[in-house]
Amino acid sequence: MDPSFMQLALDLARATVGLTSPNPQVGCVLVRDGQVLGAGAHLYDQVDHAEIVTLKQARAAGYDPRDATAYVTLEPCSHHGRTGPCADALVAAGIARCVVATSDPNPAVSGRGLARLRAAGIDVRVGVLEAEAREINFAFACSITLERPCVTIKAALSVDGLLAPPPAQRLHTAPFFLTGLESRAEVQQLRHACDAVLSGIGTVLADDPQLTDRTGLPRRRPLMRVILDSSLRTARTSRLLNPSNQDVWFFCSAEASLDRATSLENAGAMVTRVASHGAGLDLHAILAHLHQASIRSVLLEAGSELNGAFLRQHLVDRAILYYAEAELGSGAVPFARDYPGPFALEQSIKDVQKRQVGADVCVSGLLRDPWTTSTGNPTPNPLAII
């Protein structure tokens, strides 16, 4: 019965997408004699962790949690944060058994919650539906272990792996779409699941995108639109800034015009100056700023320049590539500058997944396993050996 109750806890965790960051998505189910006494999930704005939500729910329904089994999708915490340790709460509640899908990704605390439960005589089982549980909190785990946001590269490509027709063939009166409606709807879901979307000035000038989360689903923080714009060429009239809001963050070089910075700030945007290396801004510095702002996950939706820069610097953790049926041929814009291309990237993915999405094919997968990566000593990114 363990997998089926854990599946219920995972479903509860999954349903909180957009509502827990910077915390992980966690679900919990409390069961005794096959009867569910309580079931809940963590929501950041309601503070309580999943275990506490569930214990409270069971008690409110008139159940004493004593001798019950708790199914939790992530190792119960053992530290004092905004709340007391959940491991202590489970011990105090007198549960007999705790089934955990995965240990904590933070090497500094991993295993401590489990040890505390075991020390109190609770029967602990770890690893039930572990892969699913780890997938749900992949971005959180990357962010904790790498101390920067998890970066997911997303691209819509032609069947021959190219990004867009040659600039001279582009119609500036209409947006250019390679992929179909189904793929574009999925991209909205990807934006919904991320804290920020990141793009470059080339994309802003070519497409004038909004880069918003248009799923209509609730999210606790607005999607941050991050634009790398060395000399602040984004027009005050761009769709990113209209209507004006606080959710646009420009990164520029130290030399960018003060007047342009002021103009963008007056439109509600944030402007941060970072060092530049050669042709591009310091990506490590930018990711450090985003990490400071509690941004756990970034969706990279950019052109060749930024795709190339992130890939060459091994700053991509997950790839999601949508291939259309159309071919673009020579002269088209490459996927990533000074990089072997999307097919080489696919070679670096662990457990490549291929799915049909409408008329398109989606190829996706992870480029690292944060659960085996320790802070300050990251496993070399497989892209390093291309």
Binding site for Zn ion (CB under 5 A): 49, 77, 86
| Alpha-carbon gap, residue 237 to 215, rounded angstroms | 24
For residues 177 and 184, the answer to whether their CB atoms sit within 8 Å is yes
Closest distance to Zn ion from the beta carbon of 50 (Å): 7
| Alpha-carbon gap, residue 202 to 200, rounded angstroms | 5
Nearer to Zn ion, 137 or 179 (CB): 137
Residue indicated by tokens 């801004």: 281
| Phi, psi dihedral angles at 259 (to 5 degrees) | -60, -45
Nearer to Zn ion, 78 or 203 (CB): 78
How many CB atoms are located within 10 Å of the residue 375 CB? 12
Closest distance to Zn ion from the beta carbon of 42 (Å): 8
Closest distance to Zn ion from the beta carbon of 315 (Å): 30
Closest distance to Zn ion from the beta carbon of 100 (Å): 12
Nearer to Zn ion, 50 or 283 (CB): 50
| Alpha-carbon gap, residue 25 to 143, rounded angstroms | 14
Closest distance to Zn ion from the beta carbon of 279 (Å): 45
Q: What is the CA radius of gyration of the chain?
A: 23
| Phi, psi dihedral angles at 129 (to 5 degrees) | 55, 40
Closest distance to Zn ion from the beta carbon of 77 (Å): 3
Is residue 51 part of the annotated active site? The answer reads yes
Q: b vs e for 74-100, b when ≥16 Cβ sit within 10 Å of the residue's Cβ?
A: bbbbbeeeeeebbbbbbbebebebbbb
Please report, for residues 57, 90, 194, the alpha-carbon distance to residue 41 in angstroms, rounded to integers and kept in the order given: 11, 15, 19
Residue indicated by tokens 């409110």: 60
Residues 6+ apart with CB under 8 A from 245: 222, 268
Closest distance to Zn ion from the beta carbon of 10 (Å): 17
Nearer to Zn ion, 112 or 191 (CB): 112
Nearer to Zn ion, 77 or 256 (CB): 77
**Shortest CA distance to 379 belongs to which of 320, 319, 318, 314?**
314
Nearer to Zn ion, 90 or 248 (CB): 90
Nearer to Zn ion, 83 or 212 (CB): 83
Closest distance to Zn ion from the beta carbon of 362 (Å): 34
The residue annotated as part of the active site, out of 51, 75, 186, 301, is 51
| Alpha-carbon gap, residue 351 to 133, rounded angstroms | 16
**Shortest CA distance to 42 belongs to which of 27, 22, 56?**
27
Nearer to Zn ion, 54 or 348 (CB): 54
Residues 6+ apart with CB under 8 A from 54: 28, 29, 30, 38, 39, 40, 70
For residues 312 and 153, the answer to whether their CB atoms sit within 8 Å is no
Residues paired with 200 in a beta bridge: 228
Taking each helix axis from N to C end, the angle separating 50-60 and 86-93, rounded to the nearest 10 degrees, works out to 30
Q: Which residues are catalytic?
A: 51
